[in-house]
Structure 1
Amino acid sequence: MATTACERHADHGAVVVSTVQSTNPSARSGGGLPPADDDTSRRVLRDALAQGLVRFDANGQIEPGLAERWIVIDEGGSFIFRLREAKWNDGSPVTAEQVVPILRRLVSPQSGNPLAPFLTAIDEIVVMTPQVIEIRLSRPRPDLLKLFAQPEMAIVDRGRRGTGPFRIIRAGPPPLLRPIPDPRRVEPEDDATPAPEEDVRLIAETPARAILRFAGGRSDLLLGGQFETWPLLDAVRINQAAIQVDPAAGLFGLSIVRRDGFLTDPANRQALSAAFDRAAMLAAVAPNWEAADRLLPDTLDSDAPPQIPGWALLNLDERRSGARARVAAWGQPVRLRIALPRGPGANLLYGQIGATLLAIGITPERVALDDPADLRLIDAVAPYDSARWYLATACAPCGEAAMAAIEQARLAPTLAERGSAIATADAAINADTPFIPLARPLRWSLTTPRLRQFQTNSRAWHPLNRLRAITN
């Protein structure tokens, strides 16, 4: 793979974007508008061809999507959206009567939408006028807009049609996307035809091919870099200024998915968490990767600071000595299966995990990410800024007290009661230890200077219409 990144072409012609394609065959399908899932290639394409009521801008902040404006009333208990003038890709106008049933399907627990468990406070979605929609909540949710900006909440009708900001003008592969002119920004006498530089050629490919394409000067952007692909950058010569690392908020660590044998006892689970030298583990994969020893990154919407594990004040030798003593006291061999994704970064991570387990007397076994396991890696960017997302995501499974506290936070009728319940749940999960936090998610991209609007952000999300200039 050794090569040198050549000189970039000037700012002319379509922007070429490589998106890292999932290695999971079940995440792939044929043409048309893709369903929502966790595959970067498909999420990027979905976000380009369809939009929700709101979207993320280049900085990961909320901007208008299908709704041109909105108001929040009743302290976050009701959101009223006015739809902008928009058309489906067949030219027919978009109305509130069409959008409301689509939104109802998206928030339904039966939809398969991964965000649906965090939208249960939605009580009603109603048509107020042909262009106005109200979303009524049974409990206040000030962060609702961040959930509605996710690609999973894009408005797609039953004919798999969206409203842009792009449309496919050449199916490919790879497809060529062209911006849909925004009537709000186009004067009647102006030429609404987008310039060639506003087109995007979207290529879904393996991480290695995407990196080689960028290093060879044949693409302007690589999206979807994660920890397992980071070491591939060592094999090519890429200007360090091209490597963009997002300050992603979320969870990266090991979920304790089987609570039997040695892992039955919370004290054993805590000892296992304490045994890891997080700084050394992460440095073996990527430089300056931020470690984490607690579940919550900040107070967020809890009314108490994040819980700190009891072992945090001990040094590494003391922590590992305690873990070895608990393994020895178990009185029988301990073997743990570790489920990780494929890739060189995951290989390096497993080397560190395996060495730690062997050092405290546990025999490790690596298995595929979707195989039966005792510990399974969770690597997820938070879709919105609520402590409840962190707690619920880590609680898979966890003890009855922790589950009850999380449910109480979900059902809390006021923000004050919610904050108190979240603090209680954080304490319960800290005691239960269903999850071993290791770091914050590592998300990276490769960019060229022509993408003047590209910005790293905590959502680790980069819309195609916010790369080089404001197109709509």
Structure 2
Amino acid sequence: MSRVLACILPLLALTLVSCGSADDATVSVAVIGEEDPLTGEGLRLSVAGQLVRSATREGLVTLDASGEVVPAIAERWIVTDDGLSYIFRIRNSDWPDGTPITAPAVRDRMRQNLAALRGTSLGLDLAPIAEIRAMTGRVVEIRLTGPMPGLLQLLAQPELGLERGDTGAGPMLAEPAEAGVSLAAVPPSSRGFPQPEEWQEFYRTVLVQVAPAEQAVAAFDGGDVNLVLGGTIVDLPYADTGGLSRGTIRLDAALGVLGLDVMRDEGFLAETANREAVAMAIDRDQLMQPFNIGGWIATTRIVAPGLPDDDGTVPERWIDLEIEDRQARARARVEAWERASGEDLTLRIYLPQGPGADMLFTQIARSLAEAGISSQRADNPGAADLVLKDRLARFAGSRWFLNQFHCRITEGPCSPGADALVRQSLTVASRTEQASLLAEAERLMLAENLFIPLGAPIRWSLVRGGLDGFNENRWSVHPLFDLAERPI
């Protein structure tokens, strides 16, 4: 039995016999999640699906272990002075069947990807792309309607990976395993790179499986996997159980949104001032205390503070009020509504199942109780007044945050006025004017109080000591190919 097969077979029960250290031939990765087709063809990818897609179907550019944009199918690029044109030179490389990768093929596949992404939040992010054209056999140009500093970051997303037929250009090939997939490096020569003798010795096989958080942590603690990825606040307490002496808990300083979506503007939540009362009552400074997380960034804004296009005109809210004063004001609005309606106020809140979600709900409910609001845990999003939104940013721009609440994709009430301002920002040439329009859109969303921001999302991993190819980064992106490369 081969070494790889010997490692794969026991993965079925997540109790595999360890296949050696991270310096040996295999790196075993458990991605937290439910049962999932790792090589699925759709656009709605899980964390594990994104990892495998990125490893097997690279785009023009990709992200490295530090979250930096690096060349992939494009070997280099230039940006025109006005920021409206990105020109990429395609690497002299081949598809897996030996067919050369050409600029017309890249153009066609990119157009297909953009068409397929219409109606999604990523499609909204890519809206400034006006045209994709092949300038020569190996040069592709992307033209924009307005400046878009986050374009390269978006082009590195797994949904923008390129393929021919049903196969990508690597840098890895996936083969089914008993409980996941086995990924091996594509020969460097097919990717347009010099190929040394016995090049396989420079790479390790990466075995990827999906498992619930508790099982993934148990497998790591037992020495059966080298790396656990995909942890969120929902399952963070699992990382604090067991010995874990052979590895380290690693937290990404992630960029994104964590908060509560208002799912229905009726009853108490029909009035903007009442929705503000809910947002005002939550004590964000105490929210993460049970999790013992240092450096967590709380916010009352929709857009993460301090982004490159943040013009500084949207402040944090209620900064002149102590939490007790905020909760007292909220309580006055609750009492007024209860007198007028003759009802006792209870809000139904949906969070996914998990010990971290239980702790978060307890903290939120405690704050709301100080404002006279009773909280009840909803069984599903459809039965809830408020639903947890927990998403990672695709690029560091205000537009990404605002697009998460676009009327075209949200399931709850929305702000057509804010959408119109974001749409207007796509065609202005001045970055200053663009930032001003986006700030105005955020102010409008905040005034309508259809989302209750809490702070930055939480993402964690478990990393075996001595494992190379893993770095924390703000995107919480941990490429499998970087794990496959042996340290030199």
Q: Normalising to structure 2: TM-score of the pair?
A: 0.87
User: Aligned residue for 1:3?
Assistant: none
Q: Matches of 1:37 and 1:113 in 2, distance apart? A: 9
Offset of residue 343 of structure 1: 1.1
Q: 2:180 aligns with which of 171, 174, 181?
A: 174
Does residue 445 of the first structure (1) align with residue 445 of the second (2)? no
Structure 1 residues 292, 309: closer, same or farther in 2, change over 3 A? closer
Secondary structure at 1:115's aligned position in 2? helix
Alpha-carbon contact 2:237-2:291 (below 8 Å) kept: yes
Secondary structure at 2:259's aligned position in 1? strand
Deviations 1:402-447 (A, max 9, x none): 3333332234343222112112222222322221111201001111
Alpha-carbon contact 1:20-1:210 (below 8 Å) kept: yes
Deviations 1:313-366 (A, max 9, x none): 211211111111100101233232212112111111112222333332323232
Offset of residue 115 of structure 1: 0.9
User: What residue identity is the alignment partner of 1:63?
Assistant: V
Offset of residue 275 of structure 1: 0.6
User: Aligned residue for 1:146?
Assistant: 153
Secondary structure at 2:200's aligned position in 1? coil
Does residue 278 of the first structure (1) align with residue 290 of the second (2)? no
Structure 1 residues 45, 335: closer, same or farther in 2, change over 3 A? same
Moved more, 103-112 or 373-382: 103-112
User: Aligned residue for 1:222?
Assistant: 228
Secondary structure at 2:180's aligned position in 1? coil
User: What residue identity is the alignment partner of 1:191?
Assistant: E
Alpha-carbon contact 2:118-2:124 (below 8 Å) kept: no
Q: Matches of 1:86 and 1:432 in 2, distance apart? A: 51
User: What residue identity is the alignment partner of 1:318?
Assistant: D
Moved more, 209-218 or 289-298: 289-298
User: Aligned residue for 2:439?
Assistant: 423
Structure 1 residues 327, 38: closer, same or farther in 2, change over 3 A? farther
Moved more, 291-300 or 133-142: 291-300
Secondary structure at 2:30's aligned position in 1? strand
Secondary structure at 1:391's aligned position in 2? helix
Q: 1:98 aligns with which of 88, 99, 105?
A: 105
Offset of residue 107 of structure 1: 1.5
Q: 2:418 aligns with which of 402, 409, 416?
A: 402
For residues 255-270 of structure 1, the aligned pairs below 5 Å read: 255-270=261-276
User: Aligned residue for 1:318?
Assistant: 325
Q: 1:85 aligns with which of 86, 92, 96?
A: 92
Deviations 1:242-268 (A, max 9, x none): 111001011101122222222222222
Does residue 11 of the first structure (1) align with residue 23 of the second (2)? yes
Structure 1 residues 306, 287: closer, same or farther in 2, change over 3 A? farther
Give the RMSD, CA atoms, in angstroms.
2.7
User: What residue identity is the alignment partner of 2:479?
Assistant: P
Offset of residue 172 of structure 1: 3.7
Q: 2:55 aligns with which of 48, 54, 58?
A: 48
Alpha-carbon contact 2:111-2:132 (below 8 Å) kept: yes
Does residue 204 of the first structure (1) align with residue 182 of the second (2)? no
Q: 2:124 aligns with which of 110, 117, 120?
A: 117
Unaligned runs of 5+ in 1: 1-5
Secondary structure at 2:378's aligned position in 1? strand
Q: 2:134 aligns with which of 127, 132, 144?
A: 127
Q: 1:461 aligns with which of 469, 477, 485?
A: 477
Q: Matches of 1:281 and 1:46 in 2, distance apart? A: 35
Structure 1 residues 131, 171: closer, same or farther in 2, change over 3 A? farther
Offset of residue 139 of structure 1: 1.6
Q: Matches of 2:138 and 2:332 in 1, distance apart? A: 66
Alpha-carbon contact 1:36-1:42 (below 8 Å) kept: no
User: What residue identity is the alignment partner of 1:408?
Assistant: Q
Unaligned runs of 5+ in 2: 1-17
Q: Matches of 2:66 and 2:156 in 1, distance apart? A: 13
Q: Matches of 1:390 and 1:466 in 2, distance apart? A: 29
User: Aligned residue for 2:368?
Assistant: 357
